[in-house]
Amino acid sequence: MASRSPEPSLTRASAAPARPLAGMLWMMLTGLCFVAVTASVKMVGTEVPAAQSAFLRYALGLIFLIPMWPAVRAARLERRTWALFGLRGACHAVAVILWFYAMTRIPIADVTALNYLNPIYVMLLAVLFLGERLGPWRIAAVATAFVGTLIIVRPGFREIDIGHIAMLFTAVAMAASYFMAKFLTGKAKPQVVVFMLSVIVPVILLPFALAVWVPIGWEALGWLFLTASLATAGHYTMTLAFAAAPLAVTQPVTFLQLIWATLLGVLVFGEPADGFVMLGGSLIIAAISVVTWREARRKAPAPAQGDTPVA
């Protein structure tokens, strides 16, 4: 899966000193990895059905789970936690199929820009299910992201491709997956959470893949293995970025991913550069960044003398 944007309310848990430059560099590398993920999927194109591509991406990535096995064996999970793992896997599987399908229909820049909606949906889920307050700044962020989405899709001004619709539902399903991950990280170690998702998703995808299965060549298989490798590397570097610096520092760097995706689409795949997509994506990223900054300030330790606390 491509671009994975963090939750607005998530704060850095580590007590280690912040290293802003390192965090920004790791996040830049994360963006490059995820843009490369979209490129590798684009190279496969329509040669392989979306469900089959999604299944193979996760099946080929199972090799990266081997180091996590000791933590999984030692885990003692409740029945409710198992159910949550299953529900999260189902949501993630839906998101992955829709994302792979969208990649065959619309430009890389459109996919990247609409993927930035994930944190907005996570924030709304927190309001609906956790009773978090939807204050003025959050309302403004949601409104700004909505305007950004309209600018990207531009209903009434151009023909809306089904790929755009697929990406809107992708963001919803992926946000639900992230939202449940927030609970699961309190029930199990991160290695267990990643392992369970990476095993459950291909199991759910398998029947859908078999229903549309076509013979696949070594070249397409190689691109999909590269997809799995780059996605794993991207999630790892993103973790390093979060450990090095607060989200308020690393979040704005994700804007570069949209620029790189646009350049990749233009230079490699001959897709037209769309200023409206850049503008809409910029609005969504700005909304996420402002909320992230305020959340980080609000949840920070008591300010030193002379600092002004955020209301």
Dist. CA 170–CA 115, nearest whole Å: 8
Mean pLDDT of 191-220: 93
Query: Which of the pair, 137 or 92, is modelled with greater confidence?
Result: 92
pLDDT of residue 8: 41
Dump pLDDT digits (tens) for 141-179.
Answer: 889 999 999 999 888 777 788 999 999 999 999 989 888
Whether residue 101 is predicted with pLDDT greater than 90 in this model: the reply is yes
pLDDT of residue 306: 35
Confidence of residue 204 (pLDDT cuts 50, 70, 90): very high
Mean pLDDT of 6-17: 44
> Helix/strand/coil (H, E, C) string of 14-51?
CCCCCCHHHHHHHHHHHHHHHHHHHHHHHHHHHHCCHH
From residue 176, alpha-carbon distances to 126, 139, 181, 201, 215 in Å are 10, 20, 9, 14, 33
Whether residue 302 is predicted with pLDDT greater than 50 in this model: the reply is no
Dump pLDDT digits (tens) for 102-148.
Answer: 998 999 999 999 988 888 888 888 888 878 887 888 889 889 999 99
Whether residue 12 is predicted with pLDDT greater than 90 in this model: the reply is no
**Interhelix angle for 20-44 vs 255-267, to 10°?**
30
List the structure tokens of 133.
């307050």
pLDDT averaged over every residue in the chain: 83
Burial of 148 (0-12, 13-18, 19+ CB in 10 A): buried
